[in-house]
A and B are shown apart, each in its own frame.
Chain A
Amino acid sequence: MDRDVVETVSLRWLRRLVIAVFLVITVFPFYYMLVLSVRPIERLLLDPGALVVGFGELTVATYAEVLKATDDGGQGFLTFIRNSGMVAVAATVLTLLVAIPGAYAVARLRFFGRRQVDFLFLAVYLFPSIVIAIPLFVVFTRAGLRGSLFGLVLVYISQTLPVSVYMLKNYFETIPVSLEESAAIDGAGRLGIIRRVSLPLAMPSIMAVALYDFMIAWNEFLFALLFLVDKPNRWTVSLGLSLLADGVEVPKTVLMAGSVVLTLPIVILFFASERLLTEGLTSGAEKG
């Protein structure tokens, strides 16, 4: 038989199979998380291989335990959600305020040291965060900022700023210069051009970067662990959940409920803005 036909037909089937496998390995862990979070722990121990929840055993007691305040015998995750939300929003807003003008300058304006600045942001983006963590740990201990959410916001900016500048810069570079020039001919100054031409055009990309920054801050674990561990009322969801696992005999089903609480906001945000994010993340990647 013709090799071309054999390959085309077998690859068509292989492709379907591979897509199915990928769907299983990416979605299954999240499905499993959800299923476990609504099963009572005794049922899980009896039948660990079950994939569906029987109607009789469905429970939301796990969520009640996770979300209730510590005074009411729960784990106080509502407080953690508030902390995480505040920190992530503040870090995102501050990052954008600083990153947008900087990215624009690096992308568009010729100034002394521009290449070096450009390289610096990339190098810093790839630097190990544990290296940055040590002196920040020292400074925060001395300045009494350890255990403060404001301090954590400052640290998160160090995580989000370089990647934001990098992504925004790539986008600003794709905006045709002629658009800005025609605005200049119409009498707009530099700030006017940025406000009326470049920013509106870059809005989708700015939204993508904002979402990305929010996700980084919401998901972050190492710095929360280093700086907040002594202050239980300041814990973020990630930290609270990981310390819950170290605690005295918390059932795995309760841990899974906590995981769902931690993951759900991100997944909702992600599916609501999937197209925006996918394109924002790789804009400029085609240049290879």
Chain B
Amino acid sequence: MTTTAPGPGRSPTRERSAPPRRRQLTLRRRESRAGLALVAPTLLVTIAVIGIPIVWTVVLAFQRVRLATLRKTGLFGEFTMDNIDRVLHTPGFAETLWVTLIYSIGGTVGSIVLGLVAALVVRRPFRGRTLVRASMLLPYVAPVVAVTFVWQVMLDPQLGIVNAWGQRLLGWDAPVPFLTQESTALATVIAFEAWRYFPFAFLFLLARLQAVPGELEEAARVDGATPTQRFRHILLPQLLPVIALLGVLRFIMTFNKFDDVYLLTGGAAGTEVVSVRVYEFLTARTDIGAAAAQAVVLAVVLIVFVLIYLRFFGRRVS
């Protein structure tokens, strides 16, 4: 790293004697070398811990690998389509994909809507605003294991506070097992997702809202626009690019999500998303080939969705 960068002792005065065109070229070349030298460690580490694993997953997806035979299989054993075939034809595959899709769209829309409302209400200064803003970020920064536990306990049919109050105040006939019955589990998981990730949308939208020039709204107010009109015609158009970007980011992140669903329901009661299924293949069935194939299918489906999205909203996102 140190060899390519110019020594600190070299002064620009010495280069003044060279013709201007050549000097520019060498400066440029030196910059390029320094750039490559500085980025090399980052690039190498990224390739080692992320790039190679991704390629390897694809290779594994076409091999017959199980945990028991792992020590004997080489990197380039015989290739087979069995895994992909098995993944596509195992019962529940289509349902898992469908559940993942509903979960991702629900979680994305929920978190953005909540984040937008939150950003709008704390936009202007008021007493205690800093504290309110900080509290709103709590769900996002807190450890996932802890927050899923609290939700589980709160929603517990026997000792959860939600059911205790629901029965006492709202007159529910019987406790609702939110996370274990088919009719409510998926909706509850989506609600959790919206709750945990709205701060992410909130941060981005608040930053954008504060960058909207005050004169814009002032002018609209003078022209007689009411608050809702100002939101609809001044603020919303300014926010749309950020919302479109958040849409694609949150969708991708939710689509890949493992921890939240695994910890809340373990994938039971109709909430099995693709990544939980990959985990099941990997550990419970110790079928590495199938897990890899399932992961590849996940990545491909994701890429397709993102491409479709970019086709419709691409101009806004970029």
Contact = CB atoms under 8 A, between A and B. Distances in A.
B46 A135 contact: no
A141 B67 contact: yes
Contacts of A231: none
Nearest to B318: A288
Nearest to B260: A221
Interface in B256-302: 256, 258-259, 262-263, 275, 278-279, 282-283, 288, 291-292, 295-296, 298-299, 302
Given A189-B8, A221-B259, A267-B142, A105 B135 contact: no
A199 interface: no
Contacts of B145: 219, 221, 238, 241-242, 259, 262
Among B149, B161, B245, max chain A CB count under 10 A is at B149
B50 interface: yes
Contacts of B160: 48
Interface in B10-55: 10-12, 28, 30-36, 38-39, 41-43, 45-46, 49-54
Contact of B132 (A23, A138, A190): A23
A101 B208 contact: no
B34 A190 contact: yes
Interface string A87-115: 00000000000110111111011111010
Interface stretch (B86-94, B179-187, B224-232): B224-232
Contacts of B207: 282, 285-286
B153 A135 contact: no
B46 A136 contact: no
A210 to B, nearest CB: 14
A45 B158 contact: yes
Contacts of A60: none
A94 to B, nearest CB: 9
A260 B143 CA distance: 10
A49 B165 contact: yes
Nearest to A94: B45
B144 interface: yes
B50 A109 contact: no
Question: Mostly helix, strand, loop or mixed at chain A's interface?
Answer: helix
Given A7-B228, A111-B39, A126 B204 contact: no
Interface string A208-251: 00000001001101100010000000000110011001000000
Interface in A247-288: 252, 255-256, 259-260, 262-263, 266-267, 270-271, 274-275, 277-278, 281-282, 285-286, 288
Interface in A69-92: none
Given A112-B32, A288-B208, A120 B12 contact: no
Interface string B44-85: 011001111110110010000101001100000000000000
A102 B41 CA distance: 7
A184 B174 CA distance: 74
Contacts of B258: 129-130, 222
A215 to B, nearest CB: 6
B107 to A, nearest CB: 15
Nearest to A164: B42
Interface in A32-47: 32-33, 36, 44-45
A99 B49 CA distance: 14
B43 A117 contact: yes
B251 to A, nearest CB: 10
Interface string B195-218: 100000001101110010000000
A238 B262 CA distance: 14
A260 to B, nearest CB: 8
The 7 closest A-B pairs by CB, nearest first: A102-B42, A111-B35, A109-B35, A49-B164, A128-B256, A135-B56, A105-B38
12 contacts: A4-B224, A7-B228, A19-B132, A25-B195, A111-B36, A187-B8, A219-B143, A226-B283, A238-B144, A252-B156, A256-B150, A278-B133
Given A128-B275, A130-B275, 16 more contacts: A4-B227, A18-B121, A22-B118, A29-B147, A45-B158, A49-B164, A128-B256, A136-B49, A142-B70, A154-B49, A184-B12, A191-B8, A226-B283, A252-B159, A263-B142, A285-B242
